[in-house]
Chains A and B, each alone.
Chain A
Amino acid sequence: MNEPKIVGLGITDFGRFPELTEEALAQSAILGALRDSGLQIRDIEAFYCGNAIGASLPGQRALRELHTGGNAVYNIDNACSSGATAVNAALSALRSRQYETVLVFGMDQLSSLGGGPLPLSRNDWNNKRGMIMPALYAMRATRYMHEHGMEVATLADIAVKNRRHGLLNPIATFCKATTREEVLASRQIAEPLTLLQCCPAVVDGAAAVVLSTKPSKGLSAPVRVLASVVQSGLFETGPEDMIEAEITARTARMAYEQAGIGPQDLSLIECHDAFTISELLYYEALGLCDRGEAPQLLASGATTLGGRIPVNPSGGLIAKGHPPGATGVAQIVEVCEHLQGRAGQRQVEGARLGLTQVTGGGIWGVDHAACSIHILSL
Chain B
Amino acid sequence: MKLSKRTEPHFRMTENGMLLIATRTVSHPQLQFPPLDYVHGDQPVEEVPIGPFGRLYTYTVVHPGKDSAPYGLAMVDFEPGVRAFGRLICTDGKAPAINSTMRIVPAQLPDGSPDYAFEAVTGECA
- Determine how close the nearest CB of chain A comes to the CB of B22; give it in whole angstroms: 8
Known: A139-B75, A239-B77. A132 touches B62 (CB 8 A): yes
Q: Assess the A189–B33 pair: CB atoms within 8 A.
A: no
Query: 1/0 per position for B70-82, CB-CB distance to A under 8 A?
Result: 1101110100011
Query: 1/0 per position for A117-161, CB-CB distance to B under 8 A?
Result: 000000001101111101100111011001000000000000000
Q: Which of B1-9, B11-19, B39-47, B52-60 lies at the interface? A: B52-60
Task: Tell me the bound Cα distance from A27 to B40 in angstroms.
Answer: 45
Query: 1/0 per position for A219-250, CB-CB distance to B under 8 A?
Result: 00000000000000000111110100000000
A and B contact pairs by CB, cutoff 8 A, 27 listed: A125-B85, A128-B109, A129-B73, A134-B62, A135-B73, A138-B62, A139-B58, A139-B59, A139-B73, A139-B74, A142-B60, A142-B98, A143-B57, A143-B98, A146-B98, A188-B70, A190-B60, A190-B62, A191-B63, A236-B83, A237-B31, A237-B83, A238-B31, A240-B83, A242-B75, A364-B34, A364-B85
Q: Assess the B71–A130 pair: CB atoms within 8 A.
A: yes
A187 near B: Cβ within 8 Å?
A: yes
Q: Assess the B77–A140 pair: CB atoms within 8 A.
A: no
For chain A, give the interface size range. 20 to 34
Task: Tell me the bound Cα distance from A190 to B60 in angstroms.
Answer: 6
Known: A129-B115, A146-B58. A238 touches B71 (CB 8 A): no
Chain A's closest residue to B23 (CB) is: A237
Q: Assess the A190–B83 pair: CB atoms within 8 A.
A: no
Q: Assess the B109–A129 pair: CB atoms within 8 A.
A: yes
Q: Assess the A237–B62 pair: CB atoms within 8 A.
A: no
Task: Report the 4 A-B pairs with minimum CB-CB distance, sorted nearest first.
Answer: A138-B60, A143-B58, A237-B32, A139-B58
Task: Tell me the bound Cα distance from A193 to B83 in angstroms.
Answer: 23
Q: Assess the A129–B85 pair: CB atoms within 8 A.
A: yes
Q: Which listed residue (A130, A146, A242, A364) contacts B62, Cβ 8 A?
A: A130
B106 near A: Cβ within 8 Å?
A: no
Q: Assess the A131–B61 pair: CB atoms within 8 A.
A: no
> A146-B98, A238-B31 known; 10 other A-B pairs, CB under 8 Å?
A125-B34, A129-B85, A129-B115, A130-B71, A139-B58, A139-B73, A239-B57, A239-B81, A242-B57, A365-B32
Q: Assess the B34–A238 pair: CB atoms within 8 A.
A: no
Q: Assess the B30–A191 pair: CB atoms within 8 A.
A: no
Q: Assess the B63–A129 pair: CB atoms within 8 A.
A: no
Residues in chain A near residue B85, CB distance under 8 A: 125-126, 129, 131, 364
- Determine how close the nearest CB of chain A comes to the CB of B26; give it in whole angstroms: 16
Residues in chain A near residue B33, CB distance under 8 A: 237
B103 near A: Cβ within 8 Å?
A: no
Chain B's closest residue to A195 (CB) is: B63
B86 near A: Cβ within 8 Å?
A: yes
B33, B73, B98 interface centre (most CB from chain A within 10 Å): B73
- Determine how close the nearest CB of chain A comes to the CB of B31; give it in whole angstroms: 7
Task: Tell me the bound Cα distance from A238 to B30 in angstroms.
Answer: 8
Q: Which listed residue (B63, B77, B109) contacts A189, Cβ 8 A?
A: B63
- Determine how close the nearest CB of chain A comes to the CB of B39; give it in whole angstroms: 17
Known: A130-B73, A131-B73, A238-B30. A188 touches B63 (CB 8 A): yes
Chain B's closest residue to A145 (CB) is: B98
Which residues in window 162-192 of A have CB below 8 A to B?
187-192
Task: Tell me the bound Cα distance from A274 to B59 in angstroms.
Answer: 19
Query: 1/0 per position for A319-345, CB-CB distance to B under 8 A?
Result: 000000000000000000000000000
Query: 1/0 per position for A346-378, CB-CB distance to B under 8 A?
Result: 000000000000000000110000000000000
- Determine how close the nearest CB of chain B comes to the CB of A152; give it in whole angstroms: 13
Residues in chain A near residue B87, CB distance under 8 A: 129-130
Residues in chain B near residue A139, CB distance under 8 A: 58-60, 73-75
Q: Assess the A191–B73 pair: CB atoms within 8 A.
A: no
Chain A's closest residue to B117 (CB) is: A129
Residues in chain B near residue A135, CB distance under 8 A: 60, 62, 73
Task: Tell me the bound Cα distance from A192 to B126 in angstroms.
Answer: 14
- Determine how close the nearest CB of chain B comes to the CB of A340; give it in whole angstroms: 41
Residues in chain B near residue A364, CB distance under 8 A: 34, 85
- Determine how close the nearest CB of chain B comes to the CB of A281; give it in whole angstroms: 13
Residues in chain A near residue B59, CB distance under 8 A: 139, 142
